[in-house]
Chains A and B, each alone.
Chain A
Amino acid sequence: MCLAIPGQIVEFSAEQPLLAKVDVAGVKRSINIGLLADEPLDIGDWVLIHVGFAMSKVGAQEARDQLTMIAALGEEQQAMDEVRGYTFSP
């Protein structure tokens, strides 16, 4: 149900418009892109692959936003801890 992996589109099939070749860490497979018929897809795009089908396009911006937000976690708390460090009350 759940095992799906991101792969990069490296080629579209000339004979079959619903087939694309994706690359996952150097391993290539033909994938059916019929479930993403509503979306524009380009060479270089990343898609999520499950049982030989592309399920979703990977959102690069969303990925970046998530990582940025997590990286900022705790910084507010750290700043507060630093401030507290300057008081001398027991």
Chain B
Amino acid sequence: MNMGRMKYVDEFRDPELIAKVAREIERTVDPQYDYRIMEVCGGHTHSIYRHGLRDVLPKNIRLVHGPGCPVCVLPMGRVDDGLSVAERPGTVLTAFGDMMRVPGTKGTPLEYKARGCDVRMVYSPLDALRIAQNEPDKHVCFFAIGFETTAPSTALTILRAKALGVRNFSVFCNHVTILPAIRAILDSPDMRIDGFIGPGHVSTITGCRPYEFIAQHYRKPVVISGFEPLDLLQGILMVLRQLRAGEAKVENQYRRIVPWNGNAAAMRALADVFELRPYFEWRGLGFISQSALKIKSAFAEYDSEARFELPGVRVTDPKAAQCGEVLKGVLTPPQCKLFGNACTPEHPIGALMVSSEGACAAYFKYAPHQQAVEA
């Protein structure tokens, strides 16, 4: 798509450079081995499909889509809790576009909007705060989702709300942290992952050090990678080179963006505003301890869970949904019995169909084509 260049994007989509890395990958793989490399972040999943990268990789490299999709891992009960705020008269529920078609038990945010609830999409939590300032007679609730990439933005928004003395704004906090989920996957007995493509934008905040336990304790290579085709391919190459050399360390492929020590200002904001919940349920993975953020009591007036009585009803997925096994790379999406019949992107049963970057949703969209390609 060609009218005008985007700096720091187009250079990393250069076809000649991509071809070079692809050739180097071919030279590096052991043709007898079936590689399984997990890319943790939903953004990586999206990028892989968007740029058609599976077509340029050797067939014996399987990319396993990890749990880094904050929409996918959000339990339905939590969606219901957020929507219950929208049902109250005089409230505005704001959320990112990603949330608008996520089903609760009685409908999606867009369906609630169609029924007359005031549900509005925002690009930034600051936009939600601005709505609160502009409409003082309403209470504005921001449905916060996302990993460590997004949580600092919510933190700064809460700090700003407090500094401005805004009284009609709260955040329904569903921020989760990626490392406990990776550890849960690594601890599971049927796990078979050879190496990891680490989340590029989460690492911008956390830095690269937190992933060292994966290399040191579990002896798996971790390469923090960017999102453009060249970044992902180079990241995969670096994982393959470590495997070939029998190494297991953390490397930073995304050096132009990710500082090794992360973003101290962002980490300070997180520490000021949030604390870790003792445990939190991840849809498809179950309860994981110390894996989610809660707003500190000092900011209780900005915490929707403190200001409102939320239903807090746990909704379980049908036992037939095999999201956990797909997340761990044990099954591919079509191997789940519900895939494509009971569970489709339009009628999602389990976590991985809910968001367009969930492993099953992505596979569903591209399955007919890929089967033809693989034929």
Using a CB–CB cutoff of 8 Å, the interface residues on chain A facing chain B are 1-6, 8, 24-26, 32, 34-38, 46, 48, 50-53, 55-56, 58-60, 62-63, 65-67, 70-71, 73-74, 77
A4 to B46 CA separation, bound complex (whole angstroms): 13
Q: Determine if B124 and A56 form an interchain contact, defined as CB atoms under 8 angstroms apart.
A: no
Name the CB-closest residue of A to B70.
A1
A-B contact count (CB 8 A): 134
Contact B255 A6 (CB under 8 A): no
**A36 contact set on B, CB distance < 8 A:** 263, 265
Per the CB 8 Å criterion, the residue count for chain B at the interface is 55
Give the 9 A-B residue pairs with the shortest CB-CB distance, closest first.
A2-B43, A52-B124, A6-B8, A62-B256, A62-B255, A63-B256, A59-B256, A53-B153, A1-B147
CB within 8 Å for A52 and B41 given contacts A34-B265, A67-B11, A67-B17: no
Which residues of B sit under 8 angstroms from A67, Cβ to Cβ? 11-12, 14, 17
A62 to B12, CA, bound (A): 13
Q: Does B27 contact A (CB under 8 A)?
A: yes
The answer to whether B41 and A2 have CB atoms under 8 Å apart is: yes
Query: How many whole Å from A16's CB to the nearest CB in chain B?
Result: 10
Neighbour of B255 across the interface among A1, A2, A66, CB < 8 A: A66
Distance to closest chain A CB from B359 (angstroms): 15
Chain B min CB distance to A13 (Å)? 13
Say how far A72's CB is from chain B's closest CB, in angstroms: 9
A80 to B137, CA, bound (A): 74
Known: A2-B68, A66-B253. 19 other contacts (CB 8 A): A1-B150, A32-B126, A35-B152, A38-B265, A48-B204, A50-B150, A51-B146, A52-B124, A53-B124, A56-B263, A59-B255, A63-B11, A65-B255, A66-B255, A66-B256, A67-B14, A71-B20, A73-B20, A73-B23
User: Is B350 at the interface (CB under 8 A from chain A)?
Assistant: no
- Summarize A's interface: helix, strand, loop or mixed: mixed
B interface list, Cβ under 8 A from A: 4, 6-9, 11-12, 14, 17, 20-21, 23-24, 27, 41-44, 46, 68-70, 96, 123-127, 146-147, 149-150, 152-153, 156, 199-202, 204-205, 227, 230, 234, 253, 255-259, 263-266, 269
A51 touches B20 (CB 8 A): no
- Chain A nearest CB from B104 CB (Å) reads 21
Q: A53-B152, A77-B27 are in contact. Are A70 and B68 (CB under 8 A)?
A: no
Nearest B residue to A63 via CB reads B256
| Bound CA–CA A69/B51 (angstroms) | 22
Contacts of A32 in B (CB 8 A): 126, 153, 156
Q: Could you tell me the distance in whole angstroms from the C-beta of A32 to the nearest C-beta in chain B? A: 6
